[in-house]
A and B are shown apart, each in its own frame.
Chain A
Amino acid sequence: AQTVTQSQPEMSVQEAETVTLSCTYDTSESDYYLFWYKQPPSRQMILVIRQEAYKQQNATENRFSVNFQKAAKSFSLKISDSQLGDAAMYFCAYGAGNKLTFGGGTRVLVKP
């Protein structure tokens, strides 16, 4: 079974600074997808970024970028120029066969 591990329960970052969230996963599949979702206190899961495993190029979405290391099964998220609105729980998710497996989450605190 696939597993997703987020080893950082909580990360704190100063406004305008950069923070990197770690995620590792375990799978025997060769074709899969990886996602980062943000869950603010409002509870709604919001897609941050998506990466196809067959693509070597790391995905970017405005201030959010990933470092995808397929051999190491690592998928970290970098948030640049952090804003107060970035404060939330961030979940890494592995997707294959239309099913998502989530990690335990990392809480991001942004200090003004």
Chain B
Amino acid sequence: DAGVTQSPTHLIKTRGQQVTLRCSPKSGHDTVSWYQQALGQGPQFIFQYYEEEERQRGNFPDRFSGHQFPNYSSELNVNALLLGDSALYLCASSLMADSQSTDTQYFGPGTRLTVL
């Protein structure tokens, strides 16, 4: 049973460019959440997708957008890259419980994005 997978592993971009990161959830999971982890810090929630819609969003600008496909896989897109976007981007999958519950989130290995 494959866990959460992410691609690519590493990515180098220049300021102003656009980037797309990809995530495949753990088998049986229907919800994908994205987190940004700056060096030496804890992950910060970007947004969450369920049933192909953005369900929740953290404090990130509109330059960060995403998509979920019918097979539950997801993409994170970042436009107009800034130096400060350099970070480890983590994808986590889970099962959507009711609005009050929180299912355990399982993380992928992350994509290291470097913006020059």
Binding site for B on A (CB under 8 A): 4, 31-33, 35, 37, 42-47, 50, 91, 93, 95-105
Contact = CB atoms under 8 A, between A and B. Distances in A.
Interface in B66-116: 88, 90, 92, 94, 96-97, 99-110, 112
Contact of A102 (B44, B55, B96, B103): B44
A102 B100 contact: no
A105 B41 CA distance: 7
Residue with the greatest number of chain B CB neighbours at <10 A, chosen from A43, A93, A100, A101? A100
Interface of A is mostly: strand
A104 B42 contact: yes
A32 B101 CA distance: 7
A35 B104 contact: yes
Shortest beta-carbon contacts, A-B, top 3 = A102-B42, A95-B102, A45-B107
Contacts of A103: 42
A47 B58 CA distance: 22
A97 B44 contact: no
